[in-house]
Amino acid sequence: MSTPLDSDERSREPTQKGSRQRAAWTEQRERGSLWVLRVMRWIAVSAGRPAARAVLHPIALYFLFANGKARRASRAYLTRAQQRPAALRDVYRHIHHFAATILDRVYFLQDRLREFDLRSTGLDVLDAAIAKGDGVMLVGAHLGSFEALRAIGQERGMKIAMLMFEDNARLITRTLAAIAPQAQLHTIALGRAGAMLSLRRWLDSGGIAGLLADRTLPGQAERSRSNSHANSHSHTQRLPFLGEPARFSDGPFRLAALLRRQVVFMAGLYLGGKRYELRFVELADFREPVAAGESEARILAAMQRYVMLIEALCIESPYNWFNFFDFWAPDADATQTAAAAEAAHAE
């Protein structure tokens, strides 16, 4: 039987040339930034958060002027989200927000929650879903801080695992070793043999499985209603997003439908200083069986609601969106830059 995990794994197989390019890009990125993360960890732990935050300003300035592609992508996105031409100071603030959440990972991974003002909206939705004992899928985006969400969940005794593909799982392991060697992040590597069984067992035990669903995989084709394998294969779909259609994958929602799970949207918005606001919204409930024809409509409805929630948060808190590439680019360009951005973000 083909599953969304299997089809995603096949769809992400790049050409040999593309694979070499991405591998070389990732290796170069790791050599150039892991030592920076270790230095930031040392500053964060030794000097404290106020001193470490002062270092963010030169880092953000360097990134602002050294990375032209990211600067242009940020400006284009902010112009859409703010509905006005974005100035250079807007882009700087965007980059600074990103850098601040990266720094705060150190403290969240060390369970130093007292240093933050954490507020939550809709946490009762997650509590109610967990109380049923069915396991819950959390679907988020590269929006704010997932570590803030994970930290508050662990403090409340929740079992949380992160779903990611094997390459990204290896990358985040190296990143965590650089910024928080003692931290343990439970991951389920998609695309591996037995991944579906591991995920099902985790959910059956009452666990939470979280994934970020706002980036497509290299090679995913435009979804077609005439595709005879539409019920088992995940594809991308162009949906309205900040004024223009952008590509989103239906794989996470097909996975939830296949496993018959409740889906809760998550976001950990950084509000500046030490303030974070955690948002939880029920996105879809696939626990009840439906006719085959209705399943497709429910998956599409879940995707549309997901994109609408992201769009609303981007307008409300535009500096929390951390996709520093052309999100609206044609498929061939967007998926390649998204793969590179995934490594850069090390989510």
- Is the pLDDT higher at 84 or at 105? 84
Q: Which amino acid is at 293?
A: G
Separation between Cα atoms, residue 102 and residue 176, nearest integer Å? 11
What pLDDT, on a 0 to 100 scale, did the predictor assign at position 346? 42
CA distance 165 to 339: 11
Task: State mean pLDDT over 189-215.
Answer: 88
Q: How far apart are CA 241 and CA 247, in angstroms?
A: 9
pLDDT of residue 39: 72
Q: At what angle do helices 195-204 and 251-259 cross, to 10 degrees?
A: 60
- Quick one: what percent of the chain has pLDDT higher than 90? 47
Band the pLDDT of 191: cuts 50, 70, 90.
confident
Nearest in space to 103 (alpha carbons), one of 64, 158, 57, 156: 57
Averaged confidence pLDDT in the chain: 79
Alpha carbon distance 345, 323 (integer Å):
9
Cβ atoms of 64 and 324 within 8 Å: the answer is no
Mean pLDDT of 115-122: 92
pTM of the model: 0.81
Q: Coil, strand, or helix at residue 240?
A: strand
Confidence (pLDDT) at 139: 95
For residues 336, 101, 166, 239, the Cα torsion angle rounded to the nearest 10 degrees is -50
Give tens-digit pLDDT for 27-73: 434 443 566 667 777 888 888 888 889 989 998 999 999 999 999 99
What's the confidence (pLDDT) of residue 184?
A: 66
